[in-house]
Amino acid sequence: MKGTCFLNFIPTFLFLVSMAYSAMEVTNVTADQTALLALKAHLTDPHNILPNNWSTTASVCSWIGVTCGAQRDRVSGLNLSHMSLSGYIPSEIGNLSFLSFLSIRNNNFQGSLPNELARLLHLEYLDFGFNSFTGDIPPSLGSLPKLKSLLLEANFFLGNLPLSLWNISSLQTINISYNQLHGFMPSSIFSRSSLYTIDLSFNHLSGEIPADIFNHLPELRGIYFSRNRLSGSIPRTIGNCTLIEEINFSENNLTGEIKPNWPFLTYLVLISSIEFQ
């Protein structure tokens, strides 16, 4: 009798689990939709693309600029680049918990970046280049464990380079050029052997280039420090980066003598007084 009761209970149990899972999925999809509608509410769209398309009468996965994952109806990508948008990024952006791709490049977004971006634990690609963001770069971005590309160029970011950014073990490309960063370059910011490209040009960075930074960058392909306020010698250890293809250290106050070993180099701008051996 007990066995029979147990067997009769199984279908009911499975039904309840299925209902709970379905409710959870609906809640999650609704959370994505709510986050995107909050973003829409903070934007001005001169072409009325989003007001006419981002509607609750259609699936969020069909909205312009939105990509959903193949395994579940969760937002995995958001690309609003080159759409002449202006406005701010609300804190609700952090509720897009499955987002791996985020690009709003070449718009007119303003204000500071919300700390809630650090909740996007699946994020691999972040491109906010060519906007009008201000304030400091949030140190909390350093807690994004899967981030590979961080592109923040051509904005109005102030302050120092957050040391936390170099905690991201997966980071391959970082571009914070054409901003208003200042301060020195501590050697710890170049401790990630995964880095392919580093672009810090057109800022107000000062002091010397740390002597040991090129000992930890075996995969480096491009490095750009032009138009800063750097002084001292270019470290000889730059010759250890044998895969490097492009270097630009122009318009600083650098001197030095280096022994290059760059079989793949295609672009080089240092300073007129540099000596090669």
Q: pTM higher than 0.85, yes or no? A: yes
Predicted confidence band of residue 211 (pLDDT cuts 50, 70, 90): confident
The arrangement of strands across the sheet holding 267-269 comes to 66-68, 75-79, 101-103, 125-127, 149-151, 173-175, 197-199, 222-224, 246-248, 267-269
Report d(CA 214, CA 237) in Å as an integer: 6
CA distance 54 to 63: 6
Residue reference for tokens 């969760």 = 74
pLDDT for 127-138, tens place per residue?
Answer: 999 999 999 999
Label residue 1 by pLDDT band (50, 70, 90): low
Q: Do the first three CATH levels of 1-177 and 181-277 match, i.e. the same topology?
A: yes
Query: Which of 260 and 149 is assigned the larger pLDDT?
Result: 149
Any idea where the domains of the chain sit in the sequence? 1-177, 181-277
Q: Is the pLDDT of residue 272 over 90?
A: no
Superfamily of domain 181-277: Ribonuclease Inhibitor (3.80.10.10)
Place of tokens 């070449």: 106
Residue 190, pLDDT score: 77
Cα separation of 55 and 150, whole Å? Answer: 30
pLDDT tens digits for range 115-160? 999 999 999 999 999 999 999 999 999 999 999 999 999 999 999 9
| CB-based contacts of 58, cutoff 8 Å, min separation 6 | none
Helix (H) / strand (E) containing 247: strand 246-248
Provide the CATH topology of domain 1-177. Answer: 3.80.10
